[in-house]
Amino acid sequence: MGNDRKLKICIDRDECIGDKACENDAPETFAMDDDDKAMVINPQGDDLESIMVAAENCPVECITVIDEATGEKLYPKE
Ligand code: SF4
């Protein structure tokens, strides 16, 4: 699995409520840290679709996904 696209994934830790939704959708990309906040363990861990689903399913919309090569913001769309 994984994806070839180099992604920059940011998580607003102040907003994260630690419900693990992102980890469930893309477990090779997101994991919970010791503070029960999400962190990125590998921005290319899952396929792009799974990462996008994880970002879309975040209940507080605190995940941002950027294509590093082009700078395009993949999520959220502006
Ligand atoms: S889905 Fe959002 S709120 Fe839930 S753990 Fe992941 S980053 Fe945090």
Residue 24 sits in a domain whose CATH number is: 3.30.70.20
Residue 11 lies in a domain: yes
Distance (Å) from CA 31 to ligand 1 centroid: 10
**Residue 18 structural domain:** 7-75
Residue 1 lies in a domain: no
Of 10, 13, 22, which is best to mutate to test ligand 1, by the most ligand atoms within 8 angstroms of its C-beta? 22
Residue 29 lies in a domain: yes
Residue 2 lies in a domain: no
pTM of the model: 0.94
Q: Which helix (H) or strand (E) holds 22?
A: helix 21-25
Print the SS3 string covering the chain.
CCCCCCEEEEECCCCCCCCCHHHHHCCCCEEECCCCCEEECCCCCCCHHHHHHHHHHCCCCCEEEEECCCCCEEECCC
Task: Look at residue 20 and tell me whether its pLDDT is greater than 90.
Answer: yes
Residue 57 lies in a domain: yes
Quick: pLDDT tens for 30-74: 999 999 999 999 999 999 999 999 999 999 999 999 999 999 999
Distance (Å) from CA 5 to ligand 1 centroid: 22
Question: What's the domain count of the chain?
Answer: 1
Calpha distance 36→32 (Å, rounded)? 5
Q: What is the DSSP letter of 63?
A: E
